[in-house]
């Protein structure tokens, strides 16, 4: 490589258009930055470079860009954002595979906290709603758990890889900041815990939690969720399975509501 070629490599830059917003009550705008090109770089590493030297292409020094990140290996789910108009994980989004300028925006289905950081409370509230856990009787040793069929184990493992990133909610046309639709992630987690041998004790509660306002009936079957899931979880299948369970419970309620056990009184005196 001659001197001219070496110089061209060292001066190559990547252009970013990044959404800036101080807080939810203030209007936002885009700032444009350039960072030195590095082979194999991801969006997070470029954001770190911008954070070290937050100077726009106009030469204006601004506040460092704020974003969420933790594991940097597509496990924690915190760095989900819209990159070039598509929700994805910033830690696994490689610069070499993105068109320039690279536009970074926060997810639109969650309230903005600042810049690219959003409040994902609705996801955790949805998990509370569907009781996304397996209750146990204390913390003492309960002995071996129930045996699980290998076919169930294989399905449950895939469902358990959900990282609560919010990508499925961001891609869903039924989810807005004004409604309370639980979204595909919570529905799939309800399926996971209902398959658990111990979690089955509360299966009817989870199914009923999907029957009220904001439940599974709000799903429009767009199937966008499964297309953007970074873990390739079969979300559409989970929605179909839980929809069937909701239908079965609804029919049960219609035909057996008059057959509920009566209370045992003391009878006439």
Residues 59 and 100 in one domain: yes
Residues 41 and 131 in one domain: no
What was the pLDDT predicted at 239? 98
Residues 249 and 152 in one domain: yes
Classify residue 211: in a domain, yes or no.
yes
What was the pLDDT predicted at 269? 39
pLDDT at 264 over 50: no
What was the pLDDT predicted at 85? 97
* Domains held by the chain: number: 2
CATH number of the structural domain spanning residue 150: 1.10.1060.10
pLDDT at 140 over 80: no
Residues 90 and 133 in one domain: no
Residues 101 and 163 in one domain: no
Tokens standing for residue 110:
């969650």
Residues 38 and 102 in one domain: yes
What was the pLDDT predicted at 64? 96
- The pTM for the full model equals 0.87
CATH number of the structural domain spanning residue 93: 3.10.20.30
Q: How far is CA 146 from the centre of its chain?
A: 30
Classify residue 90: in a domain, yes or no.
yes
Classify residue 267: in a domain, yes or no.
no
The arithmetic mean of pLDDT across residues 154-159, rounded, is 97
Sequence-ordered list of residues with C-beta below 8 angstroms from that of 23, at least 6 positions apart, any chain = 112, 113, 114
The sign of the dihedral angle between the CA atoms of 137, 140, 143, 149 is positive
Residues 112 and 68 in one domain: yes
Q: Which domain holds residue 42?
A: 9-118
Residues 44 and 84 in one domain: yes
Residues 33 and 151 in one domain: no
What was the pLDDT predicted at 252? 93
pLDDT at 14 over 50: yes
What was the pLDDT predicted at 139? 67
The arithmetic mean of pLDDT across residues 43-70, rounded, is 97
Classify residue 184: in a domain, yes or no.
yes
Classify residue 166 by its DSSP letter: -
Sequence-ordered list of residues with C-beta below 8 angstroms from that of 134, at least 6 positions apart, any chain = 193, 196, 198, 199
Classify residue 106: in a domain, yes or no.
yes
Residues 38 and 154 in one domain: no
Classify residue 81: in a domain, yes or no.
yes
Distances (CA, A) of 43 to 90, 95, 212, 225: 5, 6, 40, 22
Which has more pLDDT, 7 or 179? 179
Residues 151 and 238 in one domain: yes
CA–CA distance, 162 with 156 (Å, rounded to integer): 11
Classify residue 269: in a domain, yes or no.
no
Distances (CA, A) of 172 to 135, 169, 241: 31, 5, 19
Tokens standing for residue 77:
């789910």
Residues 152 and 252 in one domain: yes
């Amino acid at each position: 490589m001659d001197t001219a070629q070496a110089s061209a490599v060292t001066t190559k830059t990547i252009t970013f258009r990044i959404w800036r917003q101080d807080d939810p009550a203030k209007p936002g705008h885009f700032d444009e930055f350039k960072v030195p090109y590095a082979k194999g770089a991801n969006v997070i590493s470029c954001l770190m470079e911008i954070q070290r030297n937050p100077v726009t292409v106009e030469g204006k020094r601004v506040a460092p860009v704020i974003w969420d990140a933790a594991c940097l290996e597509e496990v924690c789910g915190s760095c989900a954002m819209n990159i070039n108009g598509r929700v994805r994980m910033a830690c696994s989004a490689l610069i070499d595979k993105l068109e320039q300028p690279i536009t970074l925006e926060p997810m639109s289905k969650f309230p903005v906290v600042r810049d690219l950081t959003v409040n994902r409370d609705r996801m955790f509230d949805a998990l509370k709603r569907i009781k996304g856990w397996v209750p146990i009787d204390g913390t003492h040793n309960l002995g071996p758990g129930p045996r699980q069929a290998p076919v169930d184990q294989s399905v449950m493992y895939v469902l358990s890889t959900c990282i609560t990133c919010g990508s499925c909610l961001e891609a869903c046309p039924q989810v807005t900041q004004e409604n309370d639709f639980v979204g595909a992630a919570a529905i799939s987690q309800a399926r996971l815990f209902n398959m658990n041998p111990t979690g089955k004790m509360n299966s009817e509660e989870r199914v009923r939690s999907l029957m009220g306002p904001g439940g599974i009936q709000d799903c429009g079957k767009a199937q966008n969720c499964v297309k953007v899931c970074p873990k390739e979880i079969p979300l559409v299948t989970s929605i179909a399975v839980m929809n069937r369970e909701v239908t079965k419970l609804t029919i049960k309620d219609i035909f057996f509501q008059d057959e509920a056990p009566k209370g045992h009184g003391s009878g006439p005196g």
